[in-house]
Amino acid sequence: MIQGSTELVAIVGSPVAQVKSPENFNRWFVDHQQNIVMLAIDLAQTALDDFVQTLRGWQNMRGCVVTVPYKQMLASRLDSVSERSAALRSVNVIRREPDGRLVGDIVDGEGFLNAARQQGFNPKNKQALVIGTGGVGSAIAYSLCQAGVSHLVISDISHERVEALGDLLRSAFPNSVISACLASLEHFDLVVNASPVGMSATRDDGPMPLPAAMMKTLNAKTLVADVVTSPTVTPFLAFARNRGCPIQTGPQMALAQLGNLGHFIGVTPLEI
Ligand code: NAD
């Protein structure tokens, strides 16, 4: 039951009917006897500036998870953001400080790494490929470099995005080799699909983000991950699983990120 004393958190985006954060957070709040609830706010873009101003004065609102399409638009409207959010010009979580200041961060990459670590993957000195350099792919690439991968290959159908992310990563992480040259998958410890390819696929032989000939170079020791949440096992993951690779799904990444989001807002521990 929501009471006058109940504290609020939210997820803001548009649309929001499909998001899973409210049920995941609200279940955790109930299970841990927290008098906090998460609301899903479907916000029109025309109301974004008013929303940010309202958030500053909303005294029982602790913070918001941010989803599509507002991750970039909100990053430039906050009072301060983390170094990685400033570099990536994107936020997926906002904390409202007691004085009303709004602080942002992007923890998609950390959520991804939590899930990978839960599978026993340690990124230090490893070779990784990230396919798709949009919001989520950039955040994963940034976190992989922060965690010490020795070689990162980035790939996207947009040449400009690859160039821009490559420049950003090379200047922020001089100890990692960043390239866009992809001849084979054989030597990678980790291959990630961070593009939407495979979303809503209904068959295992549906679309994949790499050509079939390239997929056949996949090594059975490589951890193969996808960020797409539906279906849980995308055609890309189904192919990898058939080759004997360990796989990591989009829902695993989403679940592993709950603690990062809740901890940044101040409503859960980091590990939940
Ligand atoms: P985005 O639009 O910002 O980026 C997608 C990128 O993929 C673009 O740069 C695009 O050019 C590239 N791309 C498209 N087709 C490609 C192909 N065939 N090969 C290489 N690159 C290709 O989108 P986003 O916000 O980064 O989201 C990507 C996916 O991540 C979506 O499916 C989203 O639902 C999912 N997502 C998952 C989680 C999670 O926790 N699992 C969290 C957020 C988003």
Neighbours of 200 (CB within 10 A): 11
Q: Are 229 and 251 in contact (CB under 8 A)?
A: yes
Residue type, 95: R
Contact 59, 7 (CB under 8 A): no
Q: Is the pTM of this model over 0.85?
A: yes
- With a 6 Å cutoff on the Cβ, whether 258 touches ligand 1 is no
Does ligand 1 lie within 6 Å of residue 13's CB atom? no
What is the Å distance from ligand 1's center to 179 Cα? 19
Q: Which atom of ligand 1 is nearest to the CA of 227?
A: 41
Task: Please count the structural domains in the chain.
Answer: 2
Structural domain boundaries enclosing 58: 7-107+257-265
Alpha-carbon gap, residue 184 to 54, rounded angstroms: 51
User: Whole-number mean pLDDT of the chain?
Assistant: 97
Considering the domain architecture, whether residues 138 and 187 belong to the same structural domain is answered as yes
Angle between helix 135-146 and 159-172 (nearest 10) = 30
Rounded to the nearest angstrom, the distance between the alpha carbon of 148 and the centre of ligand 1 is 23
What CATH number corresponds to the domain at position 261? Answer: 3.40.50.10860
Task: Please report, for residues 8, 82, 104, 108, 111, the alpha-carbon distance to residue 97 in angstroms, rounded to integers and kept in the order given.
Answer: 13, 14, 11, 22, 23
Please indicate, yes or no, whether residues 97 and 155 belong to a single structural domain of this protein.
no
* Cα dihedral 191/192/193/195 (nearest 10): -130
| Residue 32, helix vs strand vs coil | coil
- For residue 71, the 8-state DSSP code is H
94 and 170 in a single domain? The answer is no
Q: Is 137 in the pocket of ligand 1 (CB under 6 A)?
A: yes
Query: What pLDDT is stored for residue 198 in this prediction?
Result: 96
Cα of 134 to ligand 1 centre, how many Å? 6
Assigned domain for 208 exists: yes
Average pLDDT over residues 185-208: 95
Give Dmax over CA atoms of the chain in angstroms.
Answer: 60
Residue 34 pLDDT more than 90?
A: yes
What is the distance between the alpha carbons of residues 144 and 164, in angstroms, rounded to a whole number? 17
> Considering Cα of 7, then 17, then 68, then 226, what sign does the dihedral take?
positive
Residues 63 and 82 in one domain: yes
88 within a domain of the structure (yes/no): yes
Region 254-267 average pLDDT = 96
Q: Probe ligand 1: pick from 227, 230, 255, max atoms within 8 Å of CB?
A: 227
> Which residue, by CA, sits nearest to atom 3 of ligand 1?
134
Nearest CA to ligand 1 atom 17: 209
Report residue 140's pLDDT band, with 50, 70 and 90 as the boundaries. very high
**Active-site residue set:** 70
Q: What is the pLDDT of residues 92-136, one digit of tens each?
A: 999 999 999 999 999 999 999 999 999 999 999 999 999 999 999
pLDDT in tens, 54-103: 999 999 999 999 999 999 999 999 999 999 999 999 999 999 999 999 99
State yes or no: pLDDT of 164 exceeds 90.
yes
Residues 117 and 66 in one domain: no
With a CB cutoff of 8 Å and minimum separation 6, the contacts of 213 are none
Q: Is 51 helix (H, G, I), strand (E, B) or coil?
A: helix
CATH number, domain of 214, equals 3.40.50.720
Mean pLDDT of 172-188: 96
Give the integer Cα–Cα distance in Å for 238 and 204. Answer: 6
Q: Is 109 in the pocket of ligand 1 (CB under 6 A)?
A: no
Q: In this predicted structure, what is the pLDDT of residue 272?
A: 85
Q: How confident is the model at residue 18 (pLDDT cuts 50, 70, 90)?
A: confident
Is 134 a pocket residue for ligand 1 (Cβ < 6 Å)? yes
Q: Judge if 140 and 197 occupy the same domain.
A: yes
Mean pLDDT throughout 127-149?
A: 97
